[in-house]
Amino acid sequence: MKYLDEYRDPAKVKSLLREIESAVTKNWVIMEICGGQTHAFLHHGLDALLPPQIELVHGPGCPVCVTPLEQIDRAIAIASRPEVIFTSFGDMLRVPGSTKDLFAVRAQGGDVRVVYSPLEAVQIAEANPEKQVVFFAIGFETTAPANAMAVLQAKNKNIDNFSVLVSHVRVPPAMEAILSSKSNRVQAFLAAGHVCAVMGFHEYPPLADKYHVPIVVTGFEPIDLLNGLLAAIRQLESGRALAENQYQRAVRLAGNESAQRAIRSVFEPVDRKWRGIGVIPQSGWGLSPNFQEFDAEKRFAVEDILTQESAQCIAGEILQGLKKPFQCAAFGKACTPGTPLGAPMVSAEGACAAYYRYHREGTYG
């Protein structure tokens, strides 16, 4: 199948691994930004086939994982109200809040529904005018256009019983926060191809130049990932630091300008809190002044809900590439997919879930 089999060809994989082994002469720490990339590396066993000089660390590109605990508690508070139909993507229902998750709210009688598109939530609001319908709008640049379109559609149709609990985050400010940290270990990035398909990668050359760090845009298949690694290693070994696109079949420099216009029409940059990391300036999107009536935080007065993260969960250190999941004392013990302490064990893109599924504790290190 085109764009699947050809990007998983074993002969090409072996050839790229040989090229990587020939190119690397020093120890390098390379971060793949996206949780989808992490899962692909581990699922295909690519990380175990790389030369020992290359250390892969896992970044903050899992939207469920970086959503802070207090935002989960706000969602639970809203979803628990009898007049509310609360809608969300499936992963969010299992993320633990301070005392329970959204599945527990549903079990206790709350009307919590899984949807596959924010436009579906708008349809639910249109069909249930006596209810308040809330959509949990999380995610990076990939989900923001559809969420913006849902708000635009609700406004155009004068649907006043629809609102969004916004927890949108942006990749470039998170990368800069990692690079500017005194504890940073990252020497090169593999940037997420789907994010760049929407936003382009024009924001990356200034970052690469400022911090002298290669940034290579990749896809999610084995050939994509290994091509990206090879490009990053060649840059590192030669002392170069450029933003490079290894995912040209899907990404161009300017990105999807129509999607960007939709985002800009509804959202504006805001400071955003990230789970286990803290507030990163201008790292999120919030509703612009023209769309404040769709803000669920204000509509249900939950802005003052503030929560401390679990002391047992080291999600922040994992999301910054400082530690691996198996280095958490709770991994595979107190924290499992059935009894998660934090979002990285819940999400389909979470690093802890990837390690639990594909590699048991002690496999690395």
Question: For residue 335, is pLDDT > 50?
Answer: yes
- The structure tokens 């926060």 sit at 177
Question: For residue 25, is pLDDT > 50?
Answer: yes
Question: For residue 361, is pLDDT > 60?
Answer: no
Output the six-digit token pair for 198: 């929407």
At residue 338, the pLDDT reads 85
CA–CA distance, 171 with 208 (Å, rounded to integer): 14
Question: For residue 1, is pLDDT > 60?
Answer: no
Decide: pTM greater than 0.95.
Answer: no
CA–CA distance, 302 with 151 (Å, rounded to integer): 20
Q: Which CATH superfamily is domain 1-311 in?
A: HypD, alpha/beta domain 2 (3.40.50.11740)
Question: For residue 362, is pLDDT > 80?
Answer: no
Name the percent of the chain lying above pLDDT 90: 77
At residue 2, the pLDDT reads 65
Structural contact between residues 283 and 174, judged by C-beta atoms closer than 8 angstroms: yes
At residue 348, the pLDDT reads 78
CA–CA distance, 246 with 344 (Å, rounded to integer): 27
At residue 347, the pLDDT reads 82
If you average pLDDT over residues 274-283, what whole number do you get?
91
Secondary structure percentages of the chain, helix, strand, coil, to 5 = 45, 20, 35
Question: For residue 363, is pLDDT > 50?
Answer: no
Question: For residue 346, is pLDDT > 90?
Answer: no
210 Cβ contact partners less than 8 Å away, ≥ 6 residues apart? none
If you average pLDDT over residues 265-275, what whole number do you get?
95
At residue 339, the pLDDT reads 85
CA–CA distance, 75 with 101 (Å, rounded to integer): 9
Domains of the chain: which residue ranges? Answer: 1-311, 315-358
**In the predicted model, what is the mean pLDDT of the chain?**
93
Confidence tier at 61 by pLDDT (50, 70, 90) = confident
Q: Write out the H or E segment, with its range, that includes residue 356.
A: helix 351-358
- Could you tell me how many helices (H) and strands (E) the chain has, helices first? 16, 11
192-219 confidence digits (pLDDT tens): 999 999 999 999 999 999 999 999 999 9
Confidence tier at 307 by pLDDT (50, 70, 90) = confident
136-166 confidence digits (pLDDT tens): 999 999 999 999 999 999 999 999 999 999 9
The string over 173-193, giving b where at least 16 C-beta atoms fall within 10 Å of a residue's C-beta and e elsewhere, is bbbbbbbeeeebebbbbbbbb
At residue 204, the 3 state secondary structure works out as helix
Output the six-digit token pair for 323: 């530690």
